[in-house]
Structure 1
Amino acid sequence: MSVNPRAVADALHASATRKVMFRLLPIMCAAYFMAYIDRTNVALAKTALQADVGISVTAFGLGAGIFFISYAFLEVPSNLIMHRVGPRRWIARIALTWGALSAAMMFVQGDLSFYLLRFLLGIAEAGLYPALMYMVTMWFSQKNRATAVGFIYLAPTIALVVGGPIGGALMELDGLGGLHGWQWMFLVEGVVTMLVGVVVFFRLPEVPADAKWLTAEEAESLSAAASAGRTDHETRIRGNVKKAFGRPFIVIVALIYLFNQITNVGIVFNIPSIVEDLDVRGSFLIGLVSGSAGIGATVGVLLVPYVHRRFRNETQLIGILAAATLTSSVAFVLVSDPVGKVVLIAVSMVFVFGTLPLFWSVAMARMSGLMAAAGLAFINTVGLIGGFIGPYAFGLVENVTGDPGSGFLVVIVSSIIGVALVPLLGRAVRNEDRATSSTPAPEASSARNH
């Protein structure tokens, strides 16, 4: 009986990919989980910071968003350093420094110190997410990348579910040792992040060949599949700026991601105050109800990659999800029932978070190597600007209306613009694929638009 070599190779690659899913992704998820906890736990402290140190709603929105400004400006330089020194060392460095600064948030005394520490936290964390995405390009074939990114996004969605109750429970320590509850929250969660950084340094392999739990054949299979169809061979940014940052599909993906993040971060940073305005009382209970948004987000990052494998046109699916976000946010504004509002927040997060793996799948299929390190960081940089705009815009609207939930008007506007950009993305992707059709990527072809 003859043996089909292709079937044997496919079985070897599938087995190796499963190992990576269970051995590598949990470490990457742990780092991103704590990153999300440390960047968003300030939302739980919003009311306490107003009462204890006099930070206004507008000042809180500016301070929450200013994190993303420093993060954005250093995103590309950070990822270029990562490409030089390696993901393991750089991700560990990021976790150790941002953990220390997150713990230092316990020393906030007013607006100025709040702004300064949030700004420094952004500097420390810059480059984490694109470094994780870069690792996906080194370990996974194109057909598996949306699934891998979806699993990585489980980290922030689970953080939304459990971060609120954990943070709320820590804030119940108010008065212990002479510290406010929010000080305990920042201290404990910052120290845990530093411990994760140590784990990353000692346990995270950078490339398949470094993984002791893979055979040589499995490592080679993963590396070959991950590099299949790569057309970017540049080793320096100078002279290749347009290829790294200026290709139309990269710019449009970045713009759609910008408006997604205005919605995403705006909602996340204001869920606790929206829930509290619905007459929910107690830090723990507010955190628990706020976690419903994380449940919706978790459903999104699991369900959409599953649908993606059966839906050939990625850009069309992005458009459908943007339209669904618009519909659910309009419904939120129109509904007055508190339970209905909480459910609609969760539903909105299904679509907002579910879109995220698709952005990165579109980008990863069309860049590699140094161009991937630079291009993915650029897309994330533009998105981070949305992370600044979202909380600040929510704060401005709330300051005018007095209603935390009125920030969903920002979501409606962002969703309309996102829907309008989708046809432009489809055209840009088709043009990019035609331009590179002389060297097609075998496994990327199934993920591209037809």
Structure 2
Amino acid sequence: MMSSEPSTAATLKRVSLRLLPIMMILYFMSYVDRVNIGFAALEMNADIGLSTAAYGLGAGLFFVGYFIFEVPSNLLLDRFGARIWITRIALTWGAVAAAMALVNNELTFYILRFLLGVAEAGFFPGLVYFLGFWFPRQQRARILSYVYMAAPVSFLLGGPLSAFLMETGNTHANFAGWRFMFAAEGILTMVLGVIGYFLLVDRPSKAKWLTAADAKSLEDQIASEDASVTATHGGHGLRAAFTPRVFALSAVYFGIAYGIYAVGFFLPSAISDFETRFGLSLSLVQIGLISAIPYAFATIAMLLWSRHSDRNAERFWHVAIPTAVGGVALAIAFTLDSPWAVMAAITVTAIGMFCAVPVFWQIPPMFLTGAAAAAGIGVANSIGNLSGFFAPYIAGWLKDSTGTYESGMLLAGACMVAAAILVFFVRRRLRATAAHSSPSGNQANNEVSS
């Protein structure tokens, strides 16, 4: 059943206008609160005596807490509903993010980064799972790209915002700029979490702004699609979330996210290092503006690429191609001999990484439904996001050891290329499963076979 019927199209437009803005804003803040230490490091490391390796370890501890609590958090979202659970996540992560203003040594830095991961665990996979209650499958890559657009936009706007808040804080004699930035952004997150409580609705049948007929039509269509997936792949029971294909998908996401975090955590410092490499002296605000350039291009490309994936009902090539191209660009970026060339390569990398992610998250629902989808998305996201622990720590250690970012980014690029190759292992496993099911011509089979 397609969503091109006028009544369904009008319903989906109404749903999009009601739900997507607050989801995008909250996801924007989740990335800002996750990676703003990339800017804080420009002052914080010296203030509290952090080495590059210690900073990388602390940055990565976020993802250890995230990993441990991700799947339980997603299952609790399924139990309590998005409205309550996403609000809880936003309030607790905002509180911990604001508390980062109190960091005064390595230990408190490590503890608060770990707790920030615990608090935020389940947020993004919860959004992915939540969208599955509201949008038919053929719409989801495009819809998720709107939400995920907040990630590159957080680098696009979050960088200059963080730099501005730091400079504003630095005008107060007794309050360091990086402390002011953490406090302001954490408090804003808490306010937005409260707003989200009043705007989010768990499913169509609970939305007072939809007619009963529209809500039933939408839920029936999505239920029919889920039943088709279950008939083909048997992906309804919780056990289906812990299979080789889910762990292979986790490894794919690990490789993509490794590149995202290697660039996200160290790009401001790498641009600051242009003074040493190329004699280019830059202010905090200039660093923030330059670091935003790759993400401006990535935002536009991601929307177009996701739309192309939906239109062609193809997912695997739409993940593999940008991941591979982005990985190669990242591997060579810091071997180049001019700041313009470095930023051009990083821009290609950003385009590749962010084009791949919204399409990637359309693969788990091709073989998982119900509680298995909640857990499976959580498994893939939690394992994949462990790259956020390894990428900054290893990149920081290699920077301390070699004096350059070249080795760390070469490794990140290699992880992305490996992820692109692994995509086709997942595709082969799904095609084998579909081949053993009775041919019904449903969309799930068509997507796997394309």
**TM-score normalised by L of structure 1:** 0.92
Q: Please state if 1:256 is matched with 2:257.
A: no
The answer as to whether partners of 1:33 and 1:156 remain within 8 angstroms in 2 is yes
Distance 1:233 1:101 in 2: 40
> How far did residue 14 of structure 1 move?
1.3
| Equivalences for residues 307-318 of structure 1 within 5 A | 307-318=308-319
Matched letter for residue 212 of structure 2: A
Q: After superposition, give the CA deviation of every residue in 1:11-35 in whole Å (9 maximum; x if it has no partner).
A: 2111111122222111111111111
Partner of residue 159, structure 1: 154
Q: In the alignment, what sits opposite 2:448?
A: 448
Secondary structure, in 3 states, of the residue corresponding to 2:361?
A: helix
> Within 2, Cα distance between the matches of 1:118 and 1:50?
14
1:100 aligns with 2:101: no
Give 1:194's match in structure 2, choosing from 190, 193, 218. Answer: 190
Q: Where do residues 7-26 of structure 1 align in structure 2 (5 Å cutoff)?
A: 10-26=5-21
Contact 2:61/2:110 (8 A) holds in 1:
yes
In structure 2, relative to structure 1, the CA distance for the partners of 1:9 and 1:150 (3 Å cut) is closer
State the one-letter code of the partner of 2:54.
Answer: A
**Partner Cα distance (1:437, 1:97) in 2:** 47
Q: Distance in 1 between matches of 2:77 and 2:238?
A: 18
Aligned to 2:368: 367
- Using the TM superposition, name which of 323-332 and 344-353 deviates more: 323-332
Q: Is contact 1:157–1:295 with CA below 8 Å preserved after alignment? A: yes
Matched, 1:377 2:378: yes
**1:334 aligned partner:** 335
Please tell me whether residue 203 in structure 1 is matched to residue 199 in structure 2.
Answer: yes
The reply to whether residue 136 of structure 1 matches residue 131 of structure 2 is yes
Deviation at 1:249, TM superposition (A): 2.6
2:163 is matched with which residue: 148, 157, 168?
168
- Determine the structure 1 residue equivalent to 2:391: 390
Q: 1:274·1:405 contact (CA, 8 Å) conserved in 2? A: no
Once residues 416 and 3 of structure 2 are traced to their aligned partners in structure 1, the CA distance between those partners, rounded to angstroms, is 46
- CA–CA separation in structure 2 for the residues paired with 1:112 and 1:7: 54
1:151 shift after superposition = 0.8
Contact 2:230 2:368 in 1 (8 A): no
The 5 Å alignment of 1:36-185 reads 36-173=31-168, 174-176=170-172, 178-185=174-181
Shift of 1:436: 4.5
Match of 1:426 in 2: 427
Distance 1:153 1:313 in 2: 19
Alpha-carbon distance in 2 for matches of 1:334, 1:449: 40
**Equivalent pair of 2:313/2:447 in contact (CA under 8 Å):** yes
- Residue 221 of structure 1 aligns to which amino acid in structure 2? S
- In 2, Cα distance between equivalents of 1:201 and 1:310: 33
Given residue 315 of structure 1, which amino acid in structure 2 is its aligned partner?
A: F
Q: Offset at 1:110?
A: 1.0
1:141, distance to aligned residue in structure 2 (A): 0.5
Give the Å deviation of 1:308.
0.9
Return the alpha-carbon distance in structure 1 between the equivalents of residues 71 and 436 of structure 2.
Answer: 26
Matched with 1:343 is: 344
TM-superposition CA deviations, 1:171-228 (whole Å, max 9, x none): 0021416100000100000010000110111111111122232222221222122222
| Contact persistence 1:66–1:119 (CA under 8 A) | yes
> Which amino acid counterpart does residue 104 of structure 1 have in structure 2?
A
- Shift in Å at residue 303 of structure 1? 2.0
CA contact 1:273–1:404 (8 Å) conserved in 2: no
> What SS does the corresponding residue of 2:195 show, helix, strand or coil?
helix
Q: Would the alpha carbon gap of residues 436 and 16 (structure 1) be closer, same or farther in structure 2, given more than 3 Å must change?
A: farther
Amino acid at match of 2:78: H
For residues 240 and 8 of structure 1, the distance between their equivalents in structure 2, rounded to whole angstroms, comes to: 28
| Residue of structure 2 in register with 1:28 after alignment | 23
Aligned-partner residue type, residue 385 of structure 2 = L
- 3-state DSSP of counterpart to 2:36: helix
Q: Tell me what 1:276 maps to.
A: 272
Q: Do the aligned partners of residues 68 and 436 (structure 1) sit closer, same or farther apart at CA in structure 2, a change above 3 Å counting?
A: farther
Q: 1:312 to 1:93 in 2, by over 3 A?
A: closer
Paired AA for residue 92 in structure 1: T
Shift of 1:424: 1.0
> For residues 437 and 62 of structure 1, do their structure 2 counterparts lie closer, same or farther at Cα, with a shift above 3 Å needed?
farther
Distance 1:426 1:394 in 2: 31
Q: Which runs of 5+ in 2 are unaligned?
A: 276-280
* TM-score (norm. length: structure 2): 0.92
Q: What one-letter code is carried by the residue in structure 1 that aligns with 2:447?
A: A
Between the aligned partners of 1:312 and 1:97, the Cα distance in structure 2 is 38
User: Cα offset for 1:242?
Assistant: 3.4
Give the letter for the 1:150 counterpart: S
Kindly tell me: are residues 7 and 68 of structure 1, through their superposed partners in 2, closer, same or farther at Cα, counting changes over 3 Å? closer
Q: Is the 1:312–1:448 Cα contact (8 Å) retained in structure 2?
A: no
Amino acid at match of 1:426: R
Deviation at 1:335, TM superposition (A): 1.8
Q: Distance in 2 between matches of 1:210 and 1:241?
A: 26
CA contact (8 A) 1:228 1:441 kept: no
Is the 8 Å Cα contact of residues 238 and 372 (structure 2) preserved in structure 1? no
Identify the residue that residue 416 of structure 2 maps to in structure 1.
415
The aligned residue for residue 290 of structure 1 is: 291
1:3 is matched with which residue? none
Aligned equivalents of 2:4, 2:180: Cα separation in 1: 52
Higher mean alpha-carbon deviation, 39-48 vs 12-21, is at 12-21
1:217-232 correspondence to structure 2 within 5 Å: 217-231=213-227
How much does 1:10 deviate? 1.8
